[in-house]
Amino acid sequence: MATDEDVTEINPAARLLERAIREGPIVELPGGVIGIFDPTLALKVDKENARDLKIAESLVDLLKIRRTKEPVAWREVRSLIAEQSARLSSPEHMQSLYARMRTDIVAHAGRDENLTRLVWQMMSRTLIPLVIQNVDAKGMRALVAEQELRFRVQQTQHLSFWQRISDFVVLRGSTSTITRELKNRLRTGESHEDYAQSLLTLSERIGVDRVTYLVTVQLIAISGVPGMMAACLLYAFIRYPEWHQRVREETTALEPEEIYALPVRKLPCTMRFVKEAMRLWTTPFVTRRVASRDIELESVSLKKGEMYELSSYIQHHSEQFWDEPERFDPDRWLPSRRQVAPNAYVPFGFAPRSCAGASVGHAQLLLFCALMTRDFTFDIAAGSKPRMRMDDGFAVPADMIGTISLV
């Protein structure tokens, strides 16, 4: 657990790290799961496991209503998403994203709020148009409801039977919205610059239902990590005001048009600040995979169907790879001090199945830093004591009640 943070919960990942230190990088976990905590070996195993990975079968496949003649490999899907991410990271798209983020926060400004919830939901809501555009007001409500559902599930963990039924209805509404828009594009020939459009190029080979599934996967991706990390960045601004000031000096020195272009060379402190937050509080802490084939690689032996586990937490918190790993120290990323072991830093997950939309995700975090230092101020409510909750496999700022105000 971070020594200079207000952390009160038991952190299972920290206990797993202690086991890895005692037992070595290969750890036998309950249920026959194999923990692989050496960065280089983890990369090799995951790469071998993903070599021939295909898109999962859909319901119509399982019911034998239709079979895809040529299953699509995940690497092809990732390529489409990565190419679209590069296009969506343009200054024009970043300006629109910045405006949506600003408008969303303004709607909640000036009153005490759960800042973790506010930031988390703002980040996911404003990314929806990059995933799928041109949905009507009812459809957008359905997509937003699904994002709120995922936030609630992560926070609650244990849901009642009736809540699960209600959530199923919400998920069906979101799926119907996506399918309706995809079919409309195929029927009319309309085209939009979003992830859905790039994935729709696969429709003749895999069918609209599978494209809907792939779009849903993108919505799931934007519903979690971007908001979690933005909340962690806000927590770090509160916890380390000297870094808030350093980032503010950089962002306010830029013209608005420069902000949208995200000139990394002019934002060195901001870049280090974001990288350090993503190192210390990357979520989820562990990633569990099912072996798609028999794997015999160095000290790892896996049969098809067996499970293995990778851990960004262990790689980011191990003294083997970092000096004082529990200390929040963005200056550790200075070229003169950088000590990253090969493959140890995995803020967007493990290659080759890491986040294909990382370029957009990282850009949004930089935009968030600009918003919180250029456009808004924030104050913590009296009696609120922000702390980092490190249980349940996620880093989540807790008790972060306060007010965000427009400058």
Confidence of residue 3 (pLDDT cuts 50, 70, 90): very low
Q: Are 95 and 365 in contact (CB under 8 A)?
A: no
Check residue 22 and give its pLDDT.
Answer: 94
* Length of the chain counted residue by residue: 407
How many CA atoms within 13 Å lie on the side-chain side of 206?
A: 22
Is pLDDT at 318 greater than 90 in this prediction? yes
Mind listing the pLDDT tens digit for each residue in 144-175? 998 888 777 766 656 676 667 777 788 899 99
| Other Cβ atoms within 10 Å of 242 Cβ, number | 7
Is pLDDT at 19 greater than 70 in this prediction? yes
Q: Give the mean pLDDT of 104-121.
A: 95
Check residue 140 and give its pLDDT.
Answer: 94
| DSSP labels, 105-158 | HHTTTTS-EEHHHHHHHHHHHHHHHHH-----HHHHHHHHHHHHHHHHHHHH--
Q: Are 379 and 291 in contact (CB under 8 A)?
A: no
Is pLDDT at 383 greater than 90 in this prediction? yes
**Adjacent-strand bridge partners of 406:** 376
Check residue 159 and give its pLDDT.
Answer: 63
Question: Cβ contacts of residue 162 below 8 Å, gap of 6+?
Answer: none
Q: Which segments of 260-317 are extended strands (E)?
A: 286-290, 295-297, 300-302, 307-311
Q: Give the mean pLDDT of 300-309.
A: 95
Mind listing the pLDDT tens digit for each residue in 175-231? 999 999 999 999 999 999 999 999 999 999 889 999 999 999 999 888 888 999 999
Q: Give the mean pLDDT of 13-21.
A: 91
Check residue 55 and give its pLDDT.
Answer: 76
Is pLDDT at 65 greater than 60 in this prediction? no
**Highest averaged pLDDT of the listed ranges 107-111, 282-286, 354-358, 393-397:** 107-111
Q: How far apart are the C-alpha atoms of 139 and 158, rounded to whole Å?
A: 28
Q: Are 288 and 33 in contact (CB under 8 A)?
A: yes
Question: Cβ contacts of residue 287 below 8 Å, gap of 6+?
Answer: 309, 310, 311, 312, 349, 350
The reply to whether the predicted model has a pTM over 0.85 is yes
Check residue 67 and give its pLDDT.
Answer: 54
Higher pLDDT, 385 or 1: 385
Check residue 58 and give its pLDDT.
Answer: 46
Q: How far apart are the C-alpha atoms of 281 and 229, rounded to whole Å?
A: 8
Least reliable range by pLDDT among 13-22, 132-141, 156-165, 386-395:
156-165
Whether a cis peptide bond, with omega within 30° of 0, leads into 284 is yes
Confidence of residue 64 (pLDDT cuts 50, 70, 90): very low
Check residue 1 and give its pLDDT.
Answer: 36
Q: How far apart are the C-alpha atoms of 154 and 396, rounded to whole Å?
A: 10
> Mapping DSSP to helix (H, G, I), strand (E, B) and coil, where does residue 343 land?
coil
Check residue 73 and give its pLDDT.
Answer: 85
> Mapping DSSP to helix (H, G, I), strand (E, B) and coil, where does residue 266 land?
helix
Q: Give the mean pLDDT of 47-69.
A: 64
Check residue 328 and give its pLDDT.
Answer: 97
DSSP 371: I
Q: How far apart are the C-alpha atoms of 124 and 90, rounded to whole Å?
A: 19
Check residue 179 and give its pLDDT.
Answer: 96
Mind listing the pLDDT tens digit for each residue in 259-278? 999 998 999 999 999 999 99
Average pLDDT of the chain? Answer: 89
Mind listing the pLDDT tens digit for each residue in 70-92? 678 888 999 999 999 999 999 99
Q: Give the mean pLDDT of 378-383.
A: 95
Is pLDDT at 249 greater than 60 in this prediction? yes
Check residue 401 and give its pLDDT.
Answer: 97
Is pLDDT at 61 greater than 60 in this prediction? no
The crossing angle, in degrees rounded to 10, of helices 137-156 and 208-223 is 50
Give one word for 150, left, alpha or beta, with left for phi > 0 and alpha for psi -120 to 50.
Answer: alpha
Question: Residue 330 class from Cβ within 10 Å (0-12 exposed, 13-18 middle, 19+ buried)?
Answer: buried
Check residue 63 and give its pLDDT.
Answer: 44
Q: Give the mean pLDDT of 295-324.
A: 94
Q: Give the mean pLDDT of 31-48.
A: 94
Check residue 51 and give its pLDDT.
Answer: 85
Is pLDDT at 62 greater than 70 in this prediction? no
